[in-house]
């Protein structure tokens, strides 16, 4: 130890520099190399995954429309107490903003945004903007109040004032079936008939859970067979398991439509064997049943593969040991074999569950009305209603619930115990 | 083993084939007496493990009958045979603690909780692992896992314990230590053990009797000393311990002894006629390295041949010398590293001598 070159407790390398610095220098090259190897994938993921997710999540709270397109009104409303209609300066600012908005043709966006909170406000904004072009001089308050009857309502001003802030939780409230009461500015539940997302989230979780359970039940025996058969047969069986995996998702889903529809293969067979009356063919598709059948089939390999890979590592000697110790085959299976496969069940379940709560194409094609999932609603807001804020909020809620599940799973099972293949 | 009582285990002309084409066990007969330690020894693929698996009930016998305490057990499932077994990789259940592993055979027998914990503690103490009950198998060293596996196979007090190469995964020192430990457990508990190994030193250390397997057949079944000193055939002689082989033709048989003319021009030697055909047949002479004398003068030993020293390997307590003798350049003699003993040099010509009774003429 006496030969160790040290200075003030710092270990020195042969050239007298601190050993840590020398080591860092030596490692820099390999670190740089590792970084370069990761870089292409990282950049790809950044642009195709992380940035879009961040953008959509931001949209779910972003509320730039009013403050951005009606800056004067926003400023004028800052000190408004909300107890009575605003005074003249606010109306003067409003006319300025409406004129500018009409010229830039962007005022409609404000209308759309406000319409989410209270229907009817879009037409109020657009028609007033059109009329504002002719307004020459004040006092502006009576002119504006004459433009549209809604300007006389206090509620209208409450909504506008609330949305002058740059960020909003309005979309999230909407996504969990809540809203602001426009009179009192309190957060209240949506009226019964407009509560759709809560039910949809619950249904999505319930369907995903059902699919996961069915997958476990179906995959367990086949994985056991795969893991215990001689390689010759298990390879063939493995190909059968993977074959649907290699087939296009769309093809498989449409194949299920052909199988399950009321004039389809399955119903024809049922009728042929007299199980079902020709007049009362079973409705197996475009409903919940169709979604569950098709998604179970599509997601089954995601359960089989982790289970198989775990079972493959369990040597037959464990079962033999249990038998030799006097346990009958059932006890040996339940007490020794099954607990050893738990990590596979966990990995497969979390995989299937997470995949199914975000599943889109299959429920969209075979789900009908009661078999659609939250992802279909997100797609609707993305493509049809163009309410991207709400789509972002729904998506973010889905993302957070998956992350929460993942954390719970990690807490209980430990993610290190998870084997995916 | 001239026992009047019934053997605990009896294999009666047992055959086993996996594919219906090749017999891995050809005609296996074995009686194991109560309290005996019998080892099945053989190279891999010789059928020894298959025999053990048939006894444990994991493989059905293709033909023949296996008896346990006089009862045929061919149709008894493994969990009803009551045989303890130690597996090659211990097969300790990784999701259970050591104590739970030991309690498992007792629980499935429906034993009471207090009785179980008492027996588990006693079993742990027996293998010097008291206080390790709460650990998982993965937290134990190889030797400790091994001891847990042994005590798990013994905790339900079976009359017969099978061990399938249980020490194969341990390093050399630990393996020797465990050999003694298992041997002592066997002596203390008077339990019958059937042990499978491919390590001849292990077999010699522990067993009462050893069955040497090759090619699905028991080549010789004998106590260790007999197996080493009096091998019945060339395979056993070659498999147990170090052995020099010389090939030759039987020229004459004279009672217990025979005269053999060596191939390779070594001349005539006298050997013990153990397992030979008639005059004129080919034979393998088997000679242990330690039964040879070096530098012996002509006429001192019954046989004496000229040899050239090819290679010397220093091994501390002795020097292993490879010499060429009668055309065989793989002939090994051991020169003790002691005072007053001859020291050979490479390339030197010397005389190697041996007694006729140490030289066994076996099948070719």
ipTM of the complex: 0.82
Angle subtended at Cα B334 by Cα B331 and Cα B339, rounded to the nearest 5 degrees: 145
Residues of B with CB under 8 A from a CB of A: 56-58, 77-85, 87-89, 91-95, 104-105, 108-109, 152-153, 156, 162
Average pLDDT, chain B: 88
Query: Among partner residues A327, A328, A340, which is closest to B95 by beta-carbon distance?
Result: A340
User: Which residues from B are below 8 Å from A314, CB to CB?
Assistant: none
- Position A25 scores a pLDDT of 84
DSSP 8-class letter at A18: B
> Are residues B108 and A328, on separate chains, in Cβ contact within 8 Å?
yes
Shortest distance between the Cα of A360 and any Cα of chain B, in A, equals: 39
Q: Supply B62's token pair.
A: 């293709």
Q: What is the dihedral of CA A142, A147, A148, A154, to 10 degrees?
A: -30
> Are residues B94 and A340, on separate chains, in Cβ contact within 8 Å?
yes
Average pLDDT over residues B69-96: 92
Above 60 in pLDDT, residue B17? yes
CB A227 within 8 A of CB A304: no
How crowded is residue A338: how many other Cβ atoms within 10 Å of its Cβ? Answer: 13
How far is it, in rounded angstroms, from Cα A143 to Cα B138?
A: 84
Q: Which of A325, A327, A345 to mutate to test the interface with B (most CBs of B within 10 A)?
A: A325
> Are residues A321 and B84, on separate chains, in Cβ contact within 8 Å?
no
How far is it, in rounded angstroms, from Cα B91 to Cα A321?
A: 6
CB A360 within 8 A of CB A382: no
Shortest distance between the Cα of B85 and any Cα of chain A, in A, equals: 6
Average pLDDT over residues B338-361: 83
- Residue reference for tokens 């020293």: B309
Domain A197-417 falls in which CATH fold?
MetI-like fold (1.10.3720)
- Position A1 scores a pLDDT of 43
Type and span of the H or E element at A366: helix A361-366
Query: Among partner residues A318, A328, A335, which is closest to B91 by beta-carbon distance?
Result: A318
State yes or no: cis peptide before B16, omega within 30 of 0.
Answer: no
Length of chain A: 421
User: What pTM does this model have?
Assistant: 0.76
How far is it, in rounded angstroms, from Cα B254 to Cα A132?
A: 137
> Class of the B244-363 domain?
mainly beta
CB A91 within 8 A of CB A140: yes
Shortest distance between the Cα of A212 and any Cα of chain B, in A, equals: 25
Per residue of chain A (421 residues), what is the pLDDT tens digit?
444 556 666 777 777 778 888 888 888 988 999 999 999 999 999 999 999 999 999 999 999 989 999 999 999 998 888 888 898 889 999 999 999 999 998 899 999 999 988 888 999 999 999 988 888 887 888 888 888 888 988 889 999 999 999 999 989 999 999 988 888 888 889 888 888 899 899 999 999 999 999 999 999 999 999 998 888 898 999 898 888 888 888 898 889 999 998 888 999 999 999 888 888 888 888 888 999 999 999 999 999 999 999 999 999 899 999 999 999 999 999 999 999 998 889 889 988 999 999 898 889 988 888 888 899 999 999 999 889 999 999 999 999 998 998 888 888 776 666 555 4
- Position B352 scores a pLDDT of 87
Query: Among partner residues B88, B91, B108, which is closest to A326 by beta-carbon distance?
Result: B108
* Cross-strand partners of B220: B212
Is domain B9-234 annotated with CATH 3.40.50.300?
Answer: yes
Nearest to B334 by CA among B289, B286, B296, B301: B289
> Are residues B108 and A317, on separate chains, in Cβ contact within 8 Å?
no
Shortest distance between the Cα of B149 and any Cα of chain A, in A, equals: 10
Sign for the CA dihedral angle at B138, B139, B142, B147 comes to negative
In order, the DSSP letters of B249-301 are EEEEEETTEEEEEETTS--EEEEEESS--STT-EEEEEE-GGG-EESPPTTTS
Sign for the CA dihedral angle at A361, A362, A368, A373 comes to negative
Length of chain B: 364
How far is it, in rounded angstroms, from Cα A97 to Cα A91?
A: 10
Q: What is the dihedral of CA B269, B273, B276, B279, to 10 degrees?
A: 60
Q: What is the dihedral of CA A252, A254, A255, A258, to 10 degrees?
A: 160
Instruction: Name the band, by pLDDT with cuts 50, 70 and 90, for residue B1.
Output: very low
Where are the domain boundaries for CATH 3.40.50.300 in chain B?
9-234
- Residue reference for tokens 């060293």: B141
Nearest to B146 by CA among B158, B164, B160: B164
User: Which residues from B are below 8 Å from A320, CB to CB?
Assistant: 56, 58, 78, 85, 87, 91
Instruction: Name the band, by pLDDT with cuts 50, 70 and 90, for residue B57.
Output: very high
Q: Supply A343's token pair.
A: 């990590």
User: Which residues from B are below 8 Å from A344, CB to CB?
Assistant: none
CB A174 within 8 A of CB A115: no
How far is it, in rounded angstroms, from Cα B89 to Cα B137?
A: 12
Residues of A with CB under 8 A from a CB of B: 315, 317-318, 320-329, 331-332, 335-336, 339-340
Above 50 in pLDDT, residue B47? yes
Query: Among partner residues B89, B95, B162, which is closest to A315 by beta-carbon distance?
Result: B89
Q: Supply A226's token pair.
A: 């795969």
- Position B44 scores a pLDDT of 86
Query: Among partner residues B78, B88, B95, which is closest to A324 by beta-carbon distance?
Result: B78
How far is it, in rounded angstroms, from Cα A332 to Cα A326?
A: 9
How far is it, in rounded angstroms, from Cα A326 to Cα B79?
A: 4
Q: Supply A18's token pair.
A: 């601190």
Where are the domain boundaries for CATH 1.10.3720.10 in chain A?
197-417
User: Which residues from A are below 8 Å from B162, CB to CB?
Assistant: 324
Shortest distance between the Cα of B78 and any Cα of chain A, in A, equals: 6
pLDDT tens for residues B129-177? Answer: 888 999 999 999 888 999 999 999 999 999 999 999 988 888 888 888 8
Nearest to A268 by CA among A254, A282, A256: A282
By CA distance, what is A320's nearest residue in B?
B58
Instruction: Name the band, by pLDDT with cuts 50, 70 and 90, for residue B5.
Output: low
Above 80 in pLDDT, residue B317? yes
Helix, coil or strand: residue B209: strand
> Are residues B58 and A320, on separate chains, in Cβ contact within 8 Å?
yes
> Are residues A321 and B85, on separate chains, in Cβ contact within 8 Å?
yes
Type and span of the H or E element at B31: strand B23-32
How far is it, in rounded angstroms, from Cα B137 to Cα A10?
A: 41
Phi then psi dihedrals of residue B32, to 5 deg: -115, 120
C-alpha gyration radius of chain B: 25
How far is it, in rounded angstroms, from Cα A322 to Cα B105?
A: 8
DSSP 8-class letter at A370: T
> Are residues A315 and B82, on separate chains, in Cβ contact within 8 Å?
no
For chains A and B, CB pairs below 8 A equal 67
How far is it, in rounded angstroms, from Cα A267 to Cα A273?
A: 10
Roughly how many angstroms between the first and final C-alpha of chain A, as a whole number?
A: 48
- Position A421 scores a pLDDT of 47
- Position B217 scores a pLDDT of 87
> Are residues A327 and B79, on separate chains, in Cβ contact within 8 Å?
yes
CB B226 within 8 A of CB B185: no
> Are residues A325 and B83, on separate chains, in Cβ contact within 8 Å?
no
Helix, coil or strand: residue B352: strand
Shortest distance between the Cα of A337 and any Cα of chain B, in A, equals: 9
pLDDT tens for residues B190-231? Answer: 899 999 999 888 999 899 999 998 888 899 999 999 998 888
Query: Among partner residues B79, B87, B94, which is closest to A326 by beta-carbon distance?
Result: B79
> Are residues A326 and B152, on separate chains, in Cβ contact within 8 Å?
no
User: Which residues from B are below 8 Å from A328, CB to CB?
Assistant: 79, 108
How far is it, in rounded angstroms, from Cα B311 to Cα B123?
A: 52
Where are the domain boundaries for CATH 2.40.50.140 in chain B?
244-363
């Amino acid at each position: 130890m006496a030969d160790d070159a040290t200075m003030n407790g710092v270990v020195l390398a042969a050239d007298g520099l601190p050993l840590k610095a020398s080591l860092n220098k030596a490692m820099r090259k390999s670190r740089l190399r590792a970084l370069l190897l990761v870089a292409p994938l990282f950049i790809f993921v950044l642009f195709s995954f992380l940035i879009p997710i961040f953008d959509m999540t931001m949209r779910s709270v972003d509320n730039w429309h009013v403050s951005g397109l009606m800056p004067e009104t926003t400023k004028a409303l800052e000190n408004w107490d909300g107890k009575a209609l605003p005074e003249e300066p606010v109306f003067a600012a409003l006319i300025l903003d409406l004129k500018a908005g009409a010229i830039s043709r962007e005022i409609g966006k404000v209308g759309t945004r406000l319409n989410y909170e209270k229907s009817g406000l879009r037409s109020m904004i657009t028609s007033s903007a059109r009329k504002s072009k002719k307004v020459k001089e004040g006092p502006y308050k009576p002119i504006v109040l004459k433009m549209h009857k809604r300007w006389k309502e206090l509620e209208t001003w409450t909504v506008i004032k609330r949305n002058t802030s740059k960020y909003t939780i309005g979309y999230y409230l909407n996504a969990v079936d809540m809203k602001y009461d426009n009179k009192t500015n309190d957060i209240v539940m949506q009226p019964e008939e407009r509560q759709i997302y809560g039910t949809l989230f619950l249904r999505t979780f319930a369907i995903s859970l059902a699919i996961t359970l069915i997958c476990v039940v179906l995959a367990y025996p086949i994985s056991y067979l795969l893991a215990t058969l001689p390689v010759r047969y298990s390879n063939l069986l493995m190909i059968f398991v993977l074959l649907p995996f290699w087939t296009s998702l769309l093809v498989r889903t449409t194949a299920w439509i052909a199988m399950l529809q009321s004039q389809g293969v399955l119903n024809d067979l049922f009728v042929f064997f007299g199980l079902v009356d020709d007049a009362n063919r079973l409705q197996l598709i475009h409903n919940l049943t169709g979604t569950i059948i098709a998604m179970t089939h599509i997601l089954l390999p995601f359960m089989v593969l982790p289970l198989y890979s775990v079972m493959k590592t369990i040597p037959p000697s464990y079962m033999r040991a249990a038998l030799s110790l006097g346990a009958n085959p059932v006890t040996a299976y339940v007490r020794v074999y099954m607990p050893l496969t738990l990590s596979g069940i966990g990995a497969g379940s979390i995989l299937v569950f997470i995949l199914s709560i975000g599943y889109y194409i299959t429920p969209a094609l075979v789900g009908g009305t009661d078999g659609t999932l939250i992802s279909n609603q997100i797609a609707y807001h993305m493509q049809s209603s163009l309410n991207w804020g709400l789509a972002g909020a729904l998506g973010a809620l889905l993302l957070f619930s998956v992350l929460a599940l993942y954390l719970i799973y990690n807490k209980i099972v430990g993610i290190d115990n998870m084997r995916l293949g | 083993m001239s026992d009047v009582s019934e053997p605990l285990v009896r294999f009666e002309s047992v055959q086993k084939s996996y594919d219906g084409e090749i017999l891995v066990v050809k005609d296996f007969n074995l009686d194991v007496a109560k309290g005996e330690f019998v080892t099945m020894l053989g190279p891999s693929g010789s059928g020894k493990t298959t025999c053990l698996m048939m006894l444990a009930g994991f493989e059905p016998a293709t033909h023949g009958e296996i008896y346990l305490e006089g009862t045929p057990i061919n149709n008894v499932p493994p969990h009803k045979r009551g045989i303890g077994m130690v597996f090659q990789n211990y097969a300790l259940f990784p999701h259970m603690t050591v104590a739970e592993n030991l309690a498992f055979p007792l629980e499935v027998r429906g034993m009471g909780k207090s009785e179980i914990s008492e027996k588990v503690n006693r079993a742990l103490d027996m293998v010097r692992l008291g206080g390790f009950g709460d650990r998982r198998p993965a937290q134990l060293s190889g030797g400790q896992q091994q001891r847990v596996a042994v005590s798990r196979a013994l905790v339900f007090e079976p009359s017969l314990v099978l061990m399938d190469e249980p020490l194969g995964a341990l390093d050399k020192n630990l393996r020797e230590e465990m050999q003694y430990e298992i041997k002592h457990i066997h002596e203390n508990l008077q339990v019958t053990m059937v042990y499978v190994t491919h390590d001849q030193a292990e077999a010699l250390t522990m067993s009462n009797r050893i069955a040497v397997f090759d090619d699905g057949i028991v080549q010789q079944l004998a106590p260790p000393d007999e197996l080493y000193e009096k091998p019945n055939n060339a395979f056993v002689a070659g498999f147990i311990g170090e052995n020099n082989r010389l090939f030759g033709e039987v020229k004459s048989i004279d009672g217990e002894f025979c005269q053999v003319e060596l191939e390779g021009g070594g001349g005539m030697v006298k050997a013990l006629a153990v397992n030979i055909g008639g005059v004129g047949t080919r034979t393998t002479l088997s000679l242990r390295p330690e039964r040879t004398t070096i530098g012996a003068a002509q006429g001192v030993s019954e046989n004496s041949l000229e040899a050239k020293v090819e290679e010397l390997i220093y091994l501390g307590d002795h020097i292993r010398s490879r010499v060429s003798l009668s055309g065989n350049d793989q002939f090994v003699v051991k020169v003790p590293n002691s005072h007053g003993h001859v020291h050979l040099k490479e390339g030197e010509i010397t005389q190697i001598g041996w007694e006729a009774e140490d030289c066994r003429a076996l099948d070719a």
